[in-house]
């Protein structure tokens, strides 16, 4: 258990790679803070980890909003202590080729992929 007594925060953790990372960290002994905008998927990730014997907690947050990420960090640190591992995994795709994206679609991709990484390490 390489992550025993460590706290890990994973964004974009409601499905796919983020869910798998959370599950692996829990298998390695970490307490996992599952962060995502998708409440149903995030709760499911945390539930699956707990059912497998791990510790996981869900916090809904939009990584493009600094106050929401800080809220997730503050809640986790208050309940479990400092974050030792953070994975900035959140990402979105739009159903349009780059040259056909609207400005709003482009802005949302940039907000999650670039600003979301910044909010995680800020």
**What DSSP string runs through 61-113?**
--TT-HHHHHHHHHHHHHHH----EEE-------SS-GGG--HHHHHHHHIII
Q: Provide the residue range defining the domain that includes 114.
A: 7-121
Tell me if 24 is assigned to some domain.
yes
Tell me if 39 is assigned to some domain.
yes
Average pLDDT for the chain: 94
Tell me if 102 is assigned to some domain.
yes
Tell me if 69 is assigned to some domain.
yes
pLDDT single digits (tens) 37-52: 999 999 999 999 999 9
Tell me if 2 is assigned to some domain.
no
53: Cβ–Cβ under 8 A, 6 or more apart, which residues? none
Whether residue 79 has pLDDT greater than 80: yes
Q: For position 85, which CATH number holds?
A: 3.40.50.720
State the total domains in the chain: 1
Tell me if 1 is assigned to some domain.
no
């Amino acid at each position: 258990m390489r992550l025993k007594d460590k706290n890990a925060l994973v964004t974009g953790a409601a499905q796919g790679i983020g869910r798998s990372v959370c599950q692996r960290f829990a298998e390695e002994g970490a307490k996992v803070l599952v962060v995502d905008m998708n409440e149903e998927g995030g709760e499911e990730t945390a539930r699956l980890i707990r059912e497998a014997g791990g510790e996981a907690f869900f916090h809904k947050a939009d990584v493009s909003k600094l106050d929401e990420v800080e809220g997730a960090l503050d809640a986790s640190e208050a309940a479990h202590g400092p974050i030792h591992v953070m994975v900035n995994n959140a990402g979105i795709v739009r159903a349009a080729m780059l040259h056909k994206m609207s400005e709003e679609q482009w802005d949302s991709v940039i907000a999650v992929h670039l600003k979301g990484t910044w909010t995680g390490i800020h």
